[in-house]
Amino acid sequence: MSKFSNQYAEVFYDTELDAISLIFKDVAPLEEFIHINQKVLDIFKTLQTNRFFVDTRKIGVVSPEGQKWVIENLFSGMVKHINHERLYHVQVVPRNEIFGKFAAENIKRRSQTMYQSEELIIEAFEDELLAKNWLAHQPKLKSVH
């Protein structure tokens, strides 16, 4: 399965970016948020990429439990799948949503204490084109599993 979609999000492989993409459509309850991110991980494990694009503009605020799950389970599984090569993760954040930006910054800060910079780089942009441009200019995965 290379795609997933429900009322809250869409997950797919973006060939142009060589990235797994997660586009949130609406605020998801915690259980759904975790389910969606598990689908991201499941699909990511079928791919040979080290790039992860997320559009968070419609999700609202991610709960502390959701943030913890992403850091401890999603990122961990992704880094392990690419044999600890660097994972590049970019988020598109809403311009006027201070709490959403805070949640994104919290994920970045907490991830930096858990993962080395050789393993995970996270950036956030308010502009989708800038985010995609940044991701497209990051090095591709070196090893093939």
Q: What is the pLDDT of residues 89-107, one digit of tens each?
A: 999 987 777 777 777 777 8
Tell me the C-alpha distance between 118 and 56, whole Å.
Answer: 25
Sign of CA dihedral 140, 34, 103, 21: positive
How confident is the model at residue 143, as a pLDDT?
67
Residues 83 and 117: beta-carbon distance below 8 Å: no
How confident is the model at residue 61, as a pLDDT?
82
Q: Which residues of the chain have pLDDT under 70?
A: 1, 143-145
How confident is the model at residue 99, as a pLDDT?
72
Q: Give the residue from 76, 74, 19 showing the smallest Cα distance to 52.
A: 19
How confident is the model at residue 45, as a pLDDT?
96
pTM score, whole prediction: 0.90
- In order of start, what are the domains of the chain with their CATH numbers? 3-136 (3.30.750.24)
Tell me the C-alpha distance between 133 and 73, whole Å.
Answer: 27
